[in-house]
Amino acid sequence: MYRTLIPTVIAFLSLSACSGDVEEVDSYDPARDYFTFANTGQFVTDHLALDLNVDFEAQELRGFAMLSMRRLDSAATELVLDTRDLTIASVAVLENGSSASAEYRFGETHETLGTPLHIAMPEGAGERFELMIEYNTSPQSTALQWLPPELTAGGKHPLMFSQSQAVHARSWVPLQDTPAIRITYEATVRTPESLLAVMSANNDPLTPRTGEYHFDMPQPIPSYLLAISVGNLYFAPLGEDTGIYTEPELLDASVYEFADTQAMLEQAEAMYGPYDWGRYDLLVLPPSFPYGGMENPRLSFITPSLLAGERSLVSVIAHELAHSWSGNLVTNATWRDGWLNEGMTSYIESRLMEVIYDVKRVDEERVLMYRELLLDLESVPEQMQALAPRLDDTTSEDFQGTIHYSKGQLFLEYLEDAFGREVFDEFLTSYFKEFAFGTITTEQFLDYLDLNLLSQEGSPVTREQAEQWTYQPGLPEGVSIPQSENLDAAAAMAQAWAEDKVGLDEIPFADYSPQAKIHFINSMPADLDFEKLAALDAGLGLSDTRNAEVGRTWFIQVATRRYTDAYEQMEVHLNRFGRSRLIAPVYGALATNGEDLDLAREMFARARGAYHPLTAAWIEAGLARAED
Ligand SMILES: [Zn+2]
């Protein structure tokens, strides 16, 4: 995923609620996935076959999931799968050509984890078997958003898309929903005839639009990378192995904006070894897609808020592409190890951006990243500031901000600085090769780092120093603080203008990069009066910006400073975008400025119908926090 306001994992568990016994602090097992009910020590899934009807009227998927499974523990008599809001019609165990229906029951529903499905294994079931489950999803599925035509770009056809990460695949497929298990999959998907289905699989750009589509995913993936979308989607190529799916209304703008995707792919291969997934395509979704991007393999799902018309926000594409190595190829074992996905990816994103664009632009983005990280470190509780935090029932906080992303990136930059770029690139390339299509913990990463770099004679970094990054709060010594002359100049200009040392017409705002514009806005002193803000807004056209990130930055300031003249345009911004990063902090600033909590609630009530349920839930949680 691209940097969000919210962590990958939305809420932490009460362990006693899911395991049923009293947990001692010392019983915490960092290698255990606390976000699944599945008994993966006894059974594992190798392959999934889906046969689904897409019903826009009922807002449900209906059909069959067949899981090819192995029994690891011959004494095990009960198999537990993850589900959420699924209706199960039947469960059968298929073995050696014969089928036997199996007894099943739902366990108790947990707010974060959904509902465990307990399946009794028939006596005499062997080591390998297939589980056939007939089921349907519900309109409340947390993974699926069903958009009516008016919330699409074209306005004539409905559109549906999934967002499975982190724990939502279980709300559209009954399965072992943990990154520790990798599966291959195939699917048959039936849709209204005029629409096209795409998945995180082998989409064929030339497939005829028949309303029945077949998919194969031959590379094993964790369940959070299962993805589907159905809509009035069309394809346009970007390069030999890259292209775009989106509604026809967004196709030209998307092709222009993301023209460098093929070059990014080739560059990433040159740096970190072969791209192992076949094609790399983008799916540009309607505004309600809750993230910047989601790295669904072969087909990244992308927010349309990147369509700035100037290719200024395409680091998100570099990020999702980079996940093809860090995350999709080598996957975090549990969500606690999420920095292995996101920190590594943010680091590679920067490296790709440096080659495709230039180092100055990357430095600008790094300065903004560092500023956001420092803000997060002020608000995130210490025990959540480690790269690999303890997720357990002593943690009530549900918020890690950008720490997995940005602190992770800084850790890898620190290692690169210490060992030199050439050595560190070799290390990463061999790391991806070593753990390809595997799942690893922070401890396995540290061991591999230790073996290949830290324990080498004359190593400039000790294991203890590396562990400071992974297990301690804050930022360790030796972090290299990002610098950008362009941004320094923009900050100095903001200061000089605030002190009336330069006039508005002397600010070269139109020539600034979007990153410099953001930094300028963030550098305005806190005590600016209303007239100054009004003059600035009128002079620079801030409230009318078409750049989503510049708008985000400006409207956070508008809300924080109660610059009410721009509230109307602020509400336009809140309705134009559905990506949580762009709007949740604006609501948050409005709700906490001391005057406008009720107004924030009203604006949210007017806009929420167009938001994704996850985005709506996060904003709601922010408003509830503001009340306390
Ligand atoms: Zn990501």
Q: What are phi and psi of 538, to 5 degrees?
A: -65, -40
- CB proximity list for 180: less than 8 A, separation 6 or greater: 33, 40, 222, 333, 334, 439
CA of 403 to the centre of ligand 1 (A): 12
CA of 294 to the centre of ligand 1 (A): 7
State mean pLDDT over 403-414: 96
CA of 360 to the centre of ligand 1 (A): 23
- When pLDDT is cut at 50, 70 and 90, the band that residue 14 belongs to is very low
One of 247, 320, 342, 416 is an active-site residue; which one?
320
CA of 527 to the centre of ligand 1 (A): 36
- When pLDDT is cut at 50, 70 and 90, the band that residue 3 belongs to is low
The separation between CA 482 and the C-alpha centre of its own chain, rounded to angstroms, equals 24
Protein residues placing their CB within 5 Å of the ion ligand 1? 1, 342, 345
Cβ atoms 395, 379 nearer than 8 A = no
**Residue-wise pLDDT tens digits, 546-563:** 999 999 999 999 999 999
pTM of the full predicted structure? 0.94
CA of 519 to the centre of ligand 1 (A): 23
Cβ atoms 40, 64 nearer than 8 A = no
CA of 530 to the centre of ligand 1 (A): 38
Do β-strands 43-55 and 182-190 pair in parallel, antiparallel, or remain unpaired? parallel
Active site annotation includes 405: yes
Alpha carbons 75 and 331: distance in angstroms, whole number: 30
Q: CA dist 79 to 116, 176, 178, 318, Å?
A: 10, 10, 15, 40
Using the predicted structure, report yes or no on whether residue 321 has a pLDDT greater than 70: yes
**Residue-wise pLDDT tens digits, 75-129:** 999 999 999 999 999 999 999 888 999 999 999 999 889 999 999 987 777 899 9
Alpha carbons 22 and 561: distance in angstroms, whole number: 47
- When pLDDT is cut at 50, 70 and 90, the band that residue 478 belongs to is confident
CA of 587 to the centre of ligand 1 (A): 24
CA of 221 to the centre of ligand 1 (A): 16
Alpha carbons 44 and 565: distance in angstroms, whole number: 58
CA of 346 to the centre of ligand 1 (A): 7
One of 405, 414, 431, 587 is an active-site residue; which one?
405
Find tokens 């808020």 and name the residue: 305
**Residue-wise pLDDT tens digits, 251-273:** 999 999 999 999 999 999 999 99
CA of 235 to the centre of ligand 1 (A): 24
CA of 341 to the centre of ligand 1 (A): 7
- The DSSP string of 380-397 is S-GGG-SSS---STT---
For 32-66, b where at least 16 C-beta lie within 10 A, e where not — what string?
A: bbbbbbbbbebbbbeebbbbbebbbeebbbbbbbb
CA of 413 to the centre of ligand 1 (A): 17
Find tokens 């409340």 and name the residue: 140
Alpha carbons 328 and 220: distance in angstroms, whole number: 9
The separation between CA 496 and the C-alpha centre of its own chain, rounded to angstroms, equals 39
Alpha carbons 581 and 558: distance in angstroms, whole number: 16
Regarding predicted confidence, which is higher, 279 or 30?
279
Helical (H) or strand (E) element with 61: strand 60-71
Using the predicted structure, report yes or no on whether residue 23 has a pLDDT greater than 90: no
- When pLDDT is cut at 50, 70 and 90, the band that residue 1 belongs to is confident
CA of 368 to the centre of ligand 1 (A): 17
Alpha carbons 427 and 345: distance in angstroms, whole number: 15
Q: CA dist 199 to 186, 206, 456, Å?
A: 10, 15, 44
Where is average pLDDT lowest: 58-72, 208-222, 387-401, 454-468? Answer: 387-401
